[in-house]
Amino acid sequence: MTYVNAVFQGIILGGFYALLACGLSLIFGVMRIINLAHGSLAVLGAFITWWIVDKTSLSPFLVLIPSLIVMFGVGWALQRGLLERSLRAGILIPLLTTFGLAIVIDNVLLGVFSPDVRSLGGQAGAVTTTSWKVSQQFSISALGILILAVAVAVLGGLSLFLRRTTLGRAMRATAQDSDTAELVGIDSRGVYARAAGIAVATAALAGVFLAIRAVVEPSAGPTQLIFAFEAVVIGGFGSLWGTLVGGLILGVAQTLGAQINPQYANLAGHLVFLAVIAVRSGGILAAREGTA
Amino acid sequence: MSLLSVENLDVRHGLLKAVRDVSFEVGEGEILALVGANGAGKTTLMRAIAGAHRPASGRVVFEGADVTAMPAHRRVRAGLALVPEGRRLFPDMTVEENLIVAGANGRRGGAWKVDTVLEAFPILKPLRFKRAATLSGGEQQACAIGRALMTNPRLLLLDEVSLGLSPIAVEGVYRSLHTLIDGGATIVLVEQDLARARKVAQRIICMLEGRMVLEGPADRLTSREITEAYFGLGRVQPKGAPA
């Protein structure tokens, strides 16, 4: 029963990783940028939310609305002001740009909010304390279910958005061939900016859930980036459903590792990541865009 | 008033001058063929007209408005559509999605819908839900032309629609084009096959090394005149001029 519990907790943790990773996957899929500032942007979103909650004492779930809108704007401006220019200089420059941006965000957060850890758990209400005990070793937390449900809803929503809406189809067309997308009337710059906005907003959503279920500090970004990156690579770059699968595999690996010894949690995740790269460098569900 | 006028257009690829001082006009309902050897600058000229390549100097005027600085997607919305060389479908989207994405972003208020395109290109009907990457060359070309039509263009630019197609597929594509032409469409097309260019077009422009070397009505130019212009045989090198 303890292993059943570990797998279950792993699935819930994996849902969080999938939520964290889907924006990374989207930016890579549409713009072919590996956004190394993704983790730091998630933490920035958490701190913006924490700051508003601290000033207004509103529920973090309510404050999510303005902070996600702000973070959408941050992503949009980031694409227009920074990434668009660096993309023109080849594939290496965006990597360096986002790496530098991560350092800037981390240090601005450190300067403004001090290195203290913060949590939104206290203000999130009953959802953080409610849980259902199935047996002595097996309990289901309401927050875990909520995070998993949000992750599935966000990934499913994004997938539907890309398949069924006008903007989503324009996004896929631009991802496949931006030059030709322009020739059928698609404003590729506008599409890129909106994709970056959506990606950064989902990162911020994950950051807020991190702060609700645990704590965030200004230096948390790079660790979150590594988890998101591993989830994306395990699942296959550019494939949204692959990212969900990758997140779940990473989460389960970590909780099973922790079951053996609490110190093995991250190690087990990294080992699974390396094993997937060794066996299938394209990831479990290799993106079709990558092979076409 | 002419629908499109190209005025003293110069287009470069880095240091290479691909198009030099080209000027011509296209009237409403006219079919113009651009011919010339590989590297004569035809594709670059077409891309500059469509807005995919910014010219170094000169103007592109469409429906009386200067569109030289306008990005490609806004020219499409104004009614200028290019079927690019090599077809360039969105490979991971279905035939229907390729058509819908163009229809949703192109010029408003035209007659072309998914159903009318499938009517004009019957070979696409059974392929509607197949991924574009799985289509044959001729099917892809039909889809690429259909996709351009979905933007409801006032002027259609066709770049080498017969490139890499079997003779039967070329026949099929041109049969569909004749339906468009009979409907009064305005078309500028690049065609390697001189006989076909003379048959389809009302007017022919021949390019050589980026310049226009011959222009005239298709029924008045002899094939000898076109061939000489095509290969640059008739040119007299002025004495003392650098080669």
Which A residues in the span 121-180 are in contact with B, Cβ-Cβ below 8 Å? Answer: 166, 169-170, 172-173, 176-177, 179-180
Domain assignment present for B222:
yes
**DSSP H or E run through B31:** strand B31-36
Q: B148: nearest CA in chain A?
A: A184
Domain assignment present for B105:
yes
Give the per-residue pLDDT at B235.
60
pLDDT band for position A292 (cuts 50, 70, 90): very low
pLDDT band for position A133 (cuts 50, 70, 90): confident
Give the per-residue pLDDT at A291.
33
Give the per-residue pLDDT at B237.
53
Query: Is B77 in CB contact (< 8 Å) with chain A?
Result: yes
Looking at the DSSP bridge assignments, the partners of residue B212 are B207
The per-residue pLDDT of chain A, averaged, comes to 92
Domain assignment present for B19:
yes
How far apart (Å, rounded) are the C-alpha atoms in residues A222 and A106? 9
Number of domains in chain B: 1
Give the per-residue pLDDT at B1.
67
Q: Are B200 and B191 in contact (CB under 8 A)?
A: yes
Which B residues in the span 17-46 are in contact with A, Cβ-Cβ below 8 Å? Answer: none
Residues of B in contact with A185 (CB under 8 A): 73, 76-77, 102, 105-107, 151
How far apart (Å, rounded) are the C-alpha atoms in residues B1 and B4? 9
> Which of A183, A191, A194, A291 is best to mutate for the B interface (most B CBs within 10 A)?
A183
**DSSP H or E run through B20:** strand B16-26
How far apart (Å, rounded) are the C-alpha atoms in residues A49 and A62? 10
Quote ipTM for the complex. 0.90
Amino acid of residue B106: G
Domain assignment present for B241:
no
Domain assignment present for B226:
yes
Query: Is B130 in CB contact (< 8 Å) with chain A?
Result: no
Cβ-defined contact of A172 to B77 (cutoff 8 Å): no
Query: Is A184 in CB contact (< 8 Å) with chain B?
Result: yes
Give the per-residue pLDDT at A137.
78
Domain assignment present for B144:
yes
**Nearest CB to B82; choose among A170, A172, A183:** A183
> Which of B101, B129, B154, B159 is best to mutate for the A interface (most A CBs within 10 A)?
B101
Domain assignment present for B239:
no
Q: How many CB pairs under 8 A join A and B?
A: 77
pLDDT band for position A129 (cuts 50, 70, 90): confident
Cβ-defined contact of B102 to A185 (cutoff 8 Å): yes
Give the per-residue pLDDT at B134.
95
Residue written as token pair 């306008």: B70
Query: Is A54 in CB contact (< 8 Å) with chain B?
Result: no
Domain assignment present for B191:
yes
Which residues have CB under 8 Å from A209's CB, separation 6+? A16, A19, A147, A150
The more confidently predicted of residues A146 and B177 is: A146
Query: Is A292 in CB contact (< 8 Å) with chain B?
Result: yes
Chain B nearest CA to A164, separation (Å):
10
Closest residue by Cα to residue B61 from B28, B26, B108: B26
Give the per-residue pLDDT at B207.
93
**Nearest CB to A169; choose among B101, B106, B133:** B101
Give the per-residue pLDDT at A102.
97
**pTM recorded for the entire structure:** 0.89
Give the per-residue pLDDT at A128.
84
The arithmetic mean of pLDDT across residues A222-234, rounded, is 95
Query: What domains are there in chain A, each with its CATH number?
Result: 2-291 (1.10.3470)
Cβ-defined contact of B101 to A186 (cutoff 8 Å): yes
- pLDDT over 90, % of chain A: 79
**Nearest CB to A176; choose among B51, B91, B102:** B91
Query: Is A183 in CB contact (< 8 Å) with chain B?
Result: yes
Give the per-residue pLDDT at A290.
38
For A56-68, how does the pLDDT look when each residue is reduced to its tens digit (9 = 90+)? 999 999 999 999 9
pLDDT band for position A177 (cuts 50, 70, 90): very high
Cβ-defined contact of A185 to B107 (cutoff 8 Å): yes
Which residues have CB under 8 Å from A263's CB, separation 6+? none
Give the per-residue pLDDT at B243.
46
pLDDT along chain B (243 residues), means of 10: 92 92 94 92 95 95 95 95 94 96 90 91 94 93 94 94 87 86 90 89 93 91 86 63 48
Residues of A in contact with B106 (CB under 8 A): 184-185
Cβ-defined contact of B97 to A169 (cutoff 8 Å): yes
Give the per-residue pLDDT at B239.
52
The arithmetic mean of pLDDT across residues A227-251, rounded, is 91
Give the per-residue pLDDT at B228.
86
For A68-122, how does the pLDDT look when each residue is reduced to its tens digit (9 = 90+)? 999 999 999 999 999 999 998 888 999 999 999 999 999 999 999 999 999 998 8
Helix axes A166-176, A188-213, angle to 10 degrees: 110
- CATH assignment of the domain containing B206: 3.40.50.300
Residues of A in contact with B92 (CB under 8 A): 172, 176, 288-289, 292
Give the per-residue pLDDT at B234.
65
Q: Could you list the residue range(s) of the whole structural domain that residue B9 is in? A: 4-231
Residues of A in contact with B105 (CB under 8 A): 166, 170, 184-186
Number of H helices, E strands in chain A: 13, 2
Give the per-residue pLDDT at A139.
83
Output helix, strand, coil percentages for chain B, rounded to the nearest 5. Answer: 35, 25, 35
**Nearest CB to A176; choose among B92, B100, B150:** B92
Closest residue by Cα to residue A186 from A30, A70, A26: A30
Chain B nearest CA to A246, separation (Å):
22
